[in-house]
Each structure stands twice: as structure tokens, then as C-alpha cells.
Amino acid sequence: MDTIKIFDTTLRDGEQAPGAAMTIEQKYEFALQLARLGVDVIEAGFPVSSPHQFEACKLIAENVKGTTIAGLARSVEKDIDAVYESIGKAENSRLHTFIATSPIHMEYKLKMTPDQVVESAVKAVTYARNKFAEVEFSPEDGTRSELEFLYRIIEKVIDAGATVINVPDTVGYTMPDEYGLLIKSIMNNVPNIDKAIISVHCHNDLGLGVANTLAAFKNGARQAEVTVNGIGERAGNAALEELIMALNVRKDLHHLNSNIDTKQLYNTSRLLSVIMASPIPRNKPIVGANAFSHESGIHQHGMLSNRETYEIMTPESVGREASEIVLGRHSGLHGFKKRIDELGIALSDEQIKSAFEIFLKLADRKKEVFDEDIMQVAGSVLGTKSTFYNLDYFNIITGNTVISTATVRVKIKDEVFEEAATGDGPISAIFQAIDKATSISGRLVEYNVHAVTSGKQAIGEVSVLVEIDNIKYLGKGSSTDILKASARAYIAAMNRYKLSMENNGAAREN
């Protein structure tokens, strides 16, 4: 089985996308994560384009080990020198040079004849080969270039010393079969192609970036240029996580390995989303919130019997937590009962049925039903209040010149407990004040927030994992006020703890 190479260009092509700009430190942090993920090549940037790009490439090249660091250059000496000065000290370095080869680019952008383009490419590769052991050449807009011209320029640059030939679908124009044929015809018509490996670089303008990359692998390409979360110019590039999981899930078809540690995929995606302050769409394959969530009753029933009914890969295989059964208006009795069990609430079959009726009415009114709602529903069937701790009031003083101070009032049955605490920030202050008011000492293990609705009035959902007496309890809370949502989530975790104490630990989340 062949092993394909993953060339990650998130920090170069990806960062060219509107809204994707990163600081030098953020690029460095992300490059470290790419190395952990196991990419073979990190394209760190386009050093000649700005002092920022130059410095980021240098920092990454000098400190990120265990992978090759590449830098981009047009086919001119000044660009190649900038790459050499910035990444020349990397453990392994690669020069990536490009020049456009399609008639439209040569005539309108470069204003050069095809012969001049070949001459520049050969000159650049020859110059680069004296400085770098690995030289990659890209005929930009390759998929809209004339075939005979492509064969000619590729042969010449390989003779000049190029070791990797990248065939970019710069404008995301090609189709899988067509692109596969193009790679095959390059393999068959460039006499010295055995001296280089073929790489592919597919933009996603028609949503075919990953499909085109797979078609190219089928026809002999052995390196893919991809970006995490598929970011990049316009509609982006082929997404690394989608390509890798397509190869893994359908190994029976592709027979290809990679060096990627798939368990790092989710972390890498999340890190990028946090750095770019750009949420991952819920329905994004592999890394979106819905990728392993099931709401419809039929799907939940299938999943509870055998997860393979509706999942072709496990969330754990991409570094995520267990699949989620999301309760909403499409859910069935099986999913509802499972959540009641997880919450540690003991209901008879009759009570479950009544609670389910109430739940369905509630789910019709609400976009998503949270654990706190389920506990209220169960409580109404039991004729009791199933929430032990209730947040009565909270107040926060915070800012960049004051120490965050929170006051909370928690109701336990008819008694009211009011406490105040300070913290590193408002969230920490609230959680500490709740600890005092409930006399429970919780350790925050995980804190996540996401917008359930969009716009400035978005409802934020906070989920927390709180460790109490060595057991972790999940709590969720929602509100248009993120601090209120946080307080509700923390109280919800405390209520789960209380319930589990009363039900001999049945509501554990571990």
C-alpha cells in the first residue's frame, strides 16, 4: 500500500482567505499543531510578500521539527532568496515556485509568451536547486492550460531539478474524471516524470476539491495540498480532514496510507477556528457540531442498537467525544429514555410515556431541548422539583481595570444562599461564588460556548464539564447573556452531581 504525502497550506493559501489573517505567534502555534497532526510538509507562507510573512516563516522554520517547511516564491530570484533567508535553516526545507501556464493567465496577467514562461520557470528552478534539496514547481491554473504546453514545461523543470510537480486546479474548474485523466496523461506523456512526484492542489469553487484530489490519487498523484477546515482563496481548498477520512473510511477502495494521526484532526480544526475567530459550520463533515449528532427518532433508535446503522466512522477516531443524541422535536421515545437514564432520573414506564408527551410539546416550541429542560419535564411528572439548586440572582463587576467580582444567590428548597467571590475573569468569579453558595468544590475541566442562533441577539449555549469528587458532570445552559448561560450550565452540572448522589452515581459523565 502506498503512503501519500500531505502538504498543508493552511498558513499560506488558507491565510490568503478574507478574514483568515493570523498573527506571527498564532501561525507558530498552529504550525506546532500541524506537526503533531503529522503533516509531511507545512507551507509556512510567502516570505517575499511582507515582513510579517517573512518573520512567521523564519520562526516556524527554526522551531518546528519533524516535518518539512516550505515557502512559496514566484519564479524570480528575489522571491527565492527570501524563501532561502527565512526557511533555509529548517530541519528540512522546500522551495515551492510557481508561474501561470494557462493562455488567459499568460496573456492578461503575466503578459508573457509561452516561451518566456518556460524560460522563467527553468531559470527559477535551476537557481533554486543550488540552494534547496527539494524544489517543487507549480504551473498555476494548470487545469486550464494546454496539454502539450504542460507536458513541455513539466519536462523542462524536471530536467532543471524539480523534485515535485504540483498541478493546481487554481480556480476549482475541473471535474473528478477529467482531472484524473489529466494526471494520467502527465504520467504517460512526460518522459522524465519518474524523477518527480506528482502533487495536486484543488480549489473548491464547485465543491469538488476533495473529490478531485481522490481522482488524482487514483491516477498516480502521491501528494495532496490541502488546508484545515478547507480554508483558502474564495471557496477554499480541499479540506485536510475530509480527504484523510475519505482515504481511511474507504481504504478498501483507495488502498492508500498517510502519516496523519487522525485523532488530532478535531483539535487541529478547533484550534484554527479559535485562532481565526471563525466558527465551524454545524454541518461541516468530520469537525462540525452535527457530524456525530443524531436527532431524528429513527436514527436515534438505530444508533442505540448499533452505531454503524448511521455512522461510517467513530467520533473517537477523529479525536472527538462520543456521538451525541440531540433531543428535539424529531426525537423518539428511545432517545428520550436514554437521556433520562443518563441524567440518573428513575421513572417508571408510565412516567416515561407521560414525560415524553410533555417533552414533545416543549420540543415543538424550542429549537433545542437542554438537560435542564429534561430535568424540569421529569420533575413535573414526578410532582417534584428535580432541580435542587436554582440560580436566583447574579451580579458581576468586571472590566480591564478591575478584579472581576461575582455575587450569586442560589435557592435550595426555600432557603437562599448568597455569596461573593473574585476570579481571573467574570466566569471564574461566578463559578467560585456558586461553589461557595452550594458548598461544593467543583473543578472546571472543559468550557465550551457556541451560538445556537445567529445575529447580534444570538442565544449562546454554554456547556461545562465539572469534576466533583473525581467524577465529571456535564452541564448546559443557554441565554442571550453568555455569563447567565455560564452560570446556568455550572448550576446544571451541580444538579447532576446532586441527582447522581441521590441515585447512586447513575448520572455520571465520564
| Contact residues: ligand KIV, CB under 6 A | 13, 98, 138, 140, 166, 168, 170, 201, 203
- Which one of Zn ion, ligand KIV, none is in contact with 404 (Cβ closer than 5 to 8 A by kind)? none
Residue closer to ligand KIV, measured from CB, 166 or 258: 166
Provide the minimum distance between the beta carbon of 97 and ligand KIV in the complex, in angstroms, as a whole number.
9
- Which one of ligand KIV, Zn ion, none is in contact with 498 (Cβ closer than 5 to 8 A by kind)? none
- Which one of ligand KIV, Zn ion, none is in contact with 136 (Cβ closer than 5 to 8 A by kind)? none
Provide the minimum distance between the beta carbon of 225 and ligand KIV in the complex, in angstroms, as a whole number.
7
Provide the minimum distance between the beta carbon of 201 and ligand KIV in the complex, in angstroms, as a whole number.
5
Specify the DSSP class assigned to residue 284. -
Distance (Å, whole) CA 127 – CA 107: 25
Q: Which residues pair with 397 in a beta bridge?
A: 405
Provide the minimum distance between the beta carbon of 13 and Zn ion in the complex, in angstroms, as a whole number.
4
Distance (Å, whole) CA 452 – CA 282: 10
Q: Which of these segments, 8-16, 59-67, 285-293, 317-325, binds Zn ion (CB under 5 A)? A: 8-16
Provide the minimum distance between the beta carbon of 164 and ligand KIV in the complex, in angstroms, as a whole number.
11
- DSSP H stretches of helix in 44-175: 51-63, 77-87, 103-104, 114-129, 147-160
- Which one of Zn ion, ligand KIV, none is in contact with 47 (Cβ closer than 5 to 8 A by kind)? none
Contact status: 241 vs Zn ion (CB under 5 A) = no
Among 5, 6, 8, 13, contact with Zn ion (rule: CB under 5 A):
13
Residue closer to Zn ion, measured from CB, 15 or 155: 15
- Which one of ligand KIV, Zn ion, none is in contact with 140 (Cβ closer than 5 to 8 A by kind)? ligand KIV
Distance (Å, whole) CA 74 – CA 288: 36
Distance (Å, whole) CA 7 – CA 42: 6
- Which one of ligand KIV, Zn ion, none is in contact with 472 (Cβ closer than 5 to 8 A by kind)? none
Q: Do the Cβ atoms of 245 and 261 come closer than 8 Å?
A: no
- Taking each helix axis from N to C end, the angle separating 114-129 and 77-87, rounded to the nearest 10 degrees, works out to 30
Query: CA neighbours within 13 Å on the CB side: how many for 324?
Result: 14
- Which one of Zn ion, ligand KIV, none is in contact with 8 (Cβ closer than 5 to 8 A by kind)? none
- Which one of ligand KIV, Zn ion, none is in contact with 138 (Cβ closer than 5 to 8 A by kind)? ligand KIV
Q: Which of 4, 173, 199 is nearest to 96 (CA)?
A: 199
C-alpha cell at 88: 533555509
Residue closer to ligand KIV, measured from CB, 8 or 13: 13
Provide the minimum distance between the beta carbon of 92 and ligand KIV in the complex, in angstroms, as a whole number.
20
Residue closer to ligand KIV, measured from CB, 47 or 168: 168
Distance (Å, whole) CA 354 – CA 377: 9
Q: Which single residue brings its beta carbon nearest to Zn ion?
A: 13
Provide the minimum distance between the beta carbon of 74 and ligand KIV in the complex, in angstroms, as a whole number.
9
CA-angle at 467, arms to 464 and 472, nearest 5°: 75
Cα separation of the two ends of the chain? 38
Report the chain's C-alpha Rg in angstroms. 28
Q: Which of these segments, 10-18, 159-167, 323-331, 439-447, binds Zn ion (CB under 5 A)? A: 10-18
C-alpha cell at 415: 432557603
Residue closer to ligand KIV, measured from CB, 170 or 432: 170
| Integer CA distances (angstroms), 405 to 75, 409, 488, in order | 58, 14, 17
Q: Do the Cβ atoms of 492 and 372 come closer than 8 Å?
A: yes
Which residues contact Zn ion (rule: CB under 5 A)? 13
